[in-house]
């Protein structure tokens, strides 16, 4: 999904992976987020800086929202990543929103609208 506005484009991605809750969802969420953060650096090809972190509920599922700046080492390009991660009874869930650092207000608003529209089980 692309958000309206001028370049750079904004991309919204929804992700889920099957997960059977065993009552230790906080540990599963922490491990899930750690795996995502580790994969973002591309084996040392980029640096990841967390610029925001807060608890947030989406679709009735408690989770964590994090904002990062990802800098590519090859050319210094910066990408802004906004994530919401959650754990339901049956899935690990993630919503990722990617923009440039100069995203428009309309582009930034897409993430909140998307999270507000989710209905999760």
Q: CA angle 116-111-54, nearest 5°?
A: 80
Q: Of 90, 112, 98, 110, whose CA–CA distance to 36 is shortest? A: 98
Q: What is the pLDDT of residues 97-117, one digit of tens each?
A: 988 877 777 777 888 888 889
Per DSSP, the three-state class of 39 is helix
Q: What is the pLDDT of residues 6-55, one digit of tens each?
A: 556 678 888 999 998 877 788 999 999 999 999 998 889 999 999 999 99
- pLDDT score of 32: 92
pTM summary value? 0.85
Q: Is the dihedral of CA 103, 7, 117, 69 positive or negative?
A: negative
For 62-67, what is the mean pLDDT?
A: 94
For 64-72, what is the mean pLDDT?
A: 94
- Domains identified in the chain and CATH numbers: 12-117 (3.40.1000.10)
**What does the alpha-carbon distance between residue 21 and residue 87 come to, in Å, rounded to a whole number?**
8
Say whether the peptide bond before residue 8 is cis (omega within 30 degrees of 0): yes
């Amino acid at each position: 999904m692309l958000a309206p506005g001028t370049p750079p484009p904004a991309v919204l991605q929804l992700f889920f992976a099957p997960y059977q809750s065993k009552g230790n969802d906080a540990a599963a969420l922490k491990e899930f987020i750690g795996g995502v953060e580790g994969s973002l650096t591309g084996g040392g090809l980029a640096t990841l800086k967390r610029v925001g972190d807060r608890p947030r509920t989406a679709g009735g599922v408690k989770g964590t929202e994090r904002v990062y700046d990802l800098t590519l080492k090859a050319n210094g390009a910066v990408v802004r990543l906004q994530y919401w991660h959650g754990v339901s009874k049956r899935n690990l869930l993630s919503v990722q929103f990617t923009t440039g650092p100069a995203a428009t207000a309309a582009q930034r608003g897409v993430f909140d609208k998307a999270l507000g529209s989710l209905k999760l089980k």
